[in-house]
Structure 1
Amino acid sequence: MREPLADIAGAALQRQGSTTRQARADRLTVLSGAPVVADVWVSGSLGFVLLLHRRNDGLLAEELYYSVRQHDGFWEHCDHLNGSILGVDLADPAVVEHALAGAPVSVIGASESLVHTGRGPDGDEGELVQVAELLVGSEVDLIEVERVAPASAGTAALSTHRVPGPLMLLALLPGERIRVSAVRTEGASRIYLGEVLDLHNPLM
């Protein structure tokens, strides 16, 4: 019996997305079998998980889940936000490269969902969170994320994320702006590839 997708997403959050670069090739070979975790994105107490699975008709589908981390560090049961057929078959590297059209990374999907962030005065007010999906080329080892929150008065927080596979996830809270740079590593050096992606979730 197939493990429920919500349970797979919850386990991925508990592991905090501990995937490696080596997982890229392995992930492509299992897309005809059990569902796999494409990526995990954690922003404060919010966690998002993107799952991939092959449908009975052979098409590749994606499912987005989210959860809120409790004060004891454990995540609540994951809720399903949305799902759809993925327009790019990640099992075919040639299809992925064609979709990228020479770019190291590009946005291939975006959605908005009303989620309970716990940031409101009552702790449970819903906010429109924007989720972007990035298609990443095989030459990219890392992405650098420069995030500016509306309350930070222009001060940016920089983080680095190892590429787990050809599909990555970003979530933006209302008012956040994120700049994404693709990086290839050569020893201790970092080589920046292509143009910087600038994403923004405006305040409503």
Structure 2
Amino acid sequence: MADLAGTALRLGRPPIAGAAADRLLRDADTPVVADIWISGDLGFVLLLHRRDDGLVGEELYYSLRGEGGAWERPDHLSGGIVGTEMADPSAAEDLLAGASMTAIAESETLVHTGRGPNHEEGELVHVWELLVSSEADLIDIERSSPNSPDMSELFRRELTGPLVLIVLLPGERVRLQAIRRENSSLTRLDDPLELHHPEQ
């Protein structure tokens, strides 16, 4: 799985475009990249796989990018069971209850980032996994950090599956907007979702 995570980071996106949930049905024994999150020289990859007991498992990997620009071999951070059946669209929509996206998992973990007040001990990163409606094609992400409090970074991403990975460092916050593409126009699905690292 570390090799798959490394490939996703090198590409800067999931290696194979398409809904991860659909691929879990077709290729039950093959892990898939659900999403990646890159913040400067830090990269995180969320993998999904079908466990022996039939449930969908998740694994989170991370890596640092070296001075030459190459990603180090990803390390495993955490793993568990996804709280819903990702291969069943109706189960996902029931969980969303009409919203365009909702957080289905939230955690904190200490990661060696090579920066922050204590370079050796690392920093506490906050991780969210968001379930996004199948009606959404894109997601707008506006990210701000304590390094530039008066400025924010805005980028738009194509959705390649039902899960979106968000990883924030201390002081960071994001504003997320799910969008549906309709011919040449874009429609915002509902109110934006705001997340922030608890250490504000």
User: TM-score range, shorter-chain basis?
Assistant: over 0.9
CA distance in structure 2 between the aligned counterparts of 1:24 and 1:187, rounded to whole angstroms: 24
Which whole-Å CA distance do the structure 2 matches of 1:86 and 1:37 have between them? 14
Q: Is the 8 A contact 2:14 2:35 kept in 1?
A: no
Instruction: Give the superposition deviation at 1:113.
Output: 0.8
Query: Where does residue 193 of structure 1 map in the other structure?
Result: 189
**1:89 to 1:106, Cα distance in 2 relative to 1, 3 A:** same
1:132-156 CA-to-partner distances (Å, cap 9, x unmatched) read: 1010111100110111101212311
- State the secondary structure of the residue aligned to 1:72: coil
Q: Which residue of 1 aligns with 2:151?
A: 155
Mapped to 2, the partners of 1:173 and 1:44 lie a distance apart of: 11
Structure 1 position 122, deviation (Å): 7.2
- Find out whether 1:138 has 2:128 as its counterpart: no
Task: Give the Cα–Cα distance (whole angstroms) in 2 for the partners of residues 176 and 18 of structure 1.
Answer: 24
Q: Deviations over 1:95-133 (max 9, x none)?
A: 111111111111111111110111247754400111110
Matches within 5 A, 1:64-75: 64-75=60-71
**What stretches of structure 1 move > 2 A for 4+ residues in a row?**
18-31, 120-125
From 33, 39, 47, the counterpart of 1:37: 33
In structure 2, C-alpha distance between the alignment counterparts of 1:168 and 1:198, rounded to whole Å: 14
For 2:21 and 2:149, locate their aligned partners in 1 and report how far apart those are by CA, in whole Å. 41
* Cα distance, 1:25 vs structure 2: 6.5
Kept in 1: contact 2:15–2:33 (CA 8 A): no
Gaps of 5+ in 1: none
Displacement of 1:27: 2.5
- Please name the residue that 2:54 is paired with: 58
TM-score (normalizing by structure 1): 0.91
Offset of residue 187 of structure 1: 2.7
Residue 97 of structure 2 is matched in structure 1 by 101
Task: Return closer, same or farther for 1:172/1:96 CA change in 2, 3 Å cut-off.
Answer: same
Say what the alpha-carbon RMSD is for the aligned residues: 1.9
CA distance in 1, matches of 2:17, 2:96: 19
Match of 2:75 in 1: 79
Moved more, 20-29 or 159-168: 20-29
SS in 1 for 2:192: strand
Name the CA distance, whole Å, in 2 between partners of 1:195 and 1:46. Answer: 29
Q: How many residues align?
A: 200
Q: Find the aligned partners of 2:187 and 2:15 in 1 and give their Cα distance.
A: 22
Instruction: Could you tell me which runs of 5 or more consecutive residues in structure 2 were left unpaired when the two chains were aligned.
Output: none
Counterpart selection for 1:166 from 162, 175, 183: 162
CA deviations on 1:145-190 (whole Å, 9 max, x unpaired) are 1111012123111111111101110111100010100011123321
Letter in 2 for 1:148: S
Change (3 A) 1:42 1:30: farther
Query: Aligned residues: percent identity?
Result: 54
Distance of 1:19 and 1:13 partners within structure 2: 9
Matches of 2:136 and 2:109, distance apart in 1: 29
**By how many angstroms is 1:72 displaced?**
1.1
Partner of 1:111: 107
